[in-house]
């Protein structure tokens, strides 16, 4: 009986350690992904400010068309509207 209880205790501790490790690894992955996205946004912002480019023009175009696919002349209007270059969203 003592061996069974000892085995169950060891099994429970091992399961706890495994769960802790999995959660820690998942948290680390989320943190790294967040940092990568932050670095990417900062890099795009630097490039956009250096070239006076507009960011997010695709979103504005799609909002104007209410989830319809835009026609070619609508895309051209969105690209030429302010006379500045555009920077595609990543």
Return the domain boundaries, the chain: 1-51, 54-90
Reference 57, options 79, 76, 83; nearest CA is 79
**According to the model, what pLDDT value does residue 65 have?**
56
**According to the model, what pLDDT value does residue 57 have?**
66
Ordered mean pLDDT values, 10 residues apiece, the chain (90 residues)? 92 96 94 93 84 72 59 58 58
**Contact (CB, 8 A) for 53 and 88:** no
Kindly give the residue spans of alpha helices, DSSP state H, lying in the chain. 2-51, 57-65, 72-80
**According to the model, what pLDDT value does residue 76 have?**
58
Strand 86-87 relative to strand 54-55, pairing: parallel
Instruction: In whole angstroms, give the CA distance from residue 51 to residue 43.
Output: 13
Instruction: In whole angstroms, give the CA distance from residue 53 to residue 46.
Output: 10
Greatest alpha-carbon span in the chain: 82
């Amino acid at each position: 009986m003592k061996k069974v209880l000892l085995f169950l205790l060891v099994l429970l501790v091992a399961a706890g350690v495994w769960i802790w490790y999995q959660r820690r690894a998942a948290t680390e992955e989320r943190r790294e992904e967040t940092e990568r996205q932050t670095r990417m946004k900062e890099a795009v912002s630097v490039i956009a400010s250096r070239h006076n480019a507009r960011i997010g023009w695709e979103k504005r175009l799609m909002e104007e068309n209410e989830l319809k696919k835009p026609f070619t002349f609508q895309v051209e209007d969105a690209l030429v509207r302010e006379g500045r270059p555009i920077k595609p969203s990543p």
